Structure 1
Amino acid sequence: MEQCIPSKYMAIHDFKKRLPSDSVKYLTWHELEEHDVQGNQIRCPRVREGPSEEERFFRGEHHTLCARKKLTENEKWEQRLQENWENCVSLNLSYQDLGDLYQVENCKRILRRLIRVERLWLVDNSLTDLSAICLPRCKELKLSRNHFTSFKQLPKLPAIQHLSLDENNIETLHGLCALRHTPLESLVLQRNPCEFHDNYRQLVFSNLPNLKMLDGILKLPEDCPPPETNFMSKICTIL
């Protein structure tokens, strides 16, 4: 027997599906009309792309299709200039909810343009591999709560000073030496499997001679590995 649903509940359900703001819910900040805000003027822009027109059609979200129009090549170039990622110095792109591949690729497209960024937050974005990205001027990078499993998946960071990788899935310290010739002073690796390795702190500091702080704790005397005993001294000890 079919369940009878009162009409008032149907109306509430339909209202929730079609709020007045639904027509713009998939738009990014630079697609809104009648403003000239550039990417380097905002700290926490929404850059996550919405689903394709085909996917929205199958979802029954026909009322959102009119929100986007086909852009001419000139309009695409103007939009690129408006994004202006090349002049960003400080940027927070955290919590973008990058659940689909095309959203991840769009995020990487933006990262490749951040040639002047010095402070960048990418927290909780389900990122797995940024090895093809170079952030030449980045001094502070926060990659907490992502899905990195190796240091080899990190972007190239020649100027990095403060790096946060807590709550990822990095199992070994292999590849850590890639950061050896950087000015890295502070590193956070808490809540990664590699944190439970024997002599964890000694291994990290031995690989990173410039490092001053690990997981919020300054370098301690016991964090320095003991000097290696040479062969001749071993012979003398035996005698």
Structure 2
Amino acid sequence: MPSGIETGALLDRARTDLARPDASPVDLRRHLTRVVPAVEELLAENAALHGQLARARTCPVTHLPTRAAWTERAGQVLAQGPTVVLLVDLDGFKPVNDRFGHAAGDDVLAAVGARLAAWSAAAGGTAGRLGGDEFSVAVPDAPGLDLDALRTLLTRPVRHQDLTLTVGASIGSAHGPASADLSALLKTADAAMYQAKGRGRRGRRLAPLARLARVLPFRKAA
């Protein structure tokens, strides 16, 4: 397969030869037989690379953006105005995975991912999978933001073959103004999420109940 440099050289030679006053149809056919296959192979290789990049930026189980891709999209949400960043950690996921197998765990992750994607899209934002059973969401900080609806979505049972599986969720949120530092918001949301998880354990709440921890709006340091 010719490289991009080699294909470029073929095109340059063809351009030079065909620009001659005595260039003939035979010369054109000769160059076409070399250039066209080289360009087609280069385009196919480029398409394959784009496909690999797209797969690397999308979780194959949940079809959500991976951490890097979500970070870019969350930055776009932040650039548009005040934003709420959520971190969601599933409660009771490991026992499901250990007892019923990875296929069951994948079905749970896929269902949660689809619900988060639908909820965040309806709110004008984006959801992503950070890794394991941890998810992230960035949505505009609007008065009508319905976090109870998110809680309801996440506590709905998931069907896997003849099983009905249920997991809970610990959720931490951070609120920031337009163009706030995303890493700082994630850190705040992460701390709030672990506080919610800790309170749930001490209170012995049932795993299917989602727990929401809200924190004060994030402000940049002066």
State whether TM-score is above 0.5.
Answer: no
If each structure's helix is expressed as a fraction of its own residues, which one has the higher value? Answer: 2
Q: Which has the higher contact order (CA 8 A, sep 6+)?
A: 2
**TM-score when normalising by structure 2:** 0.29
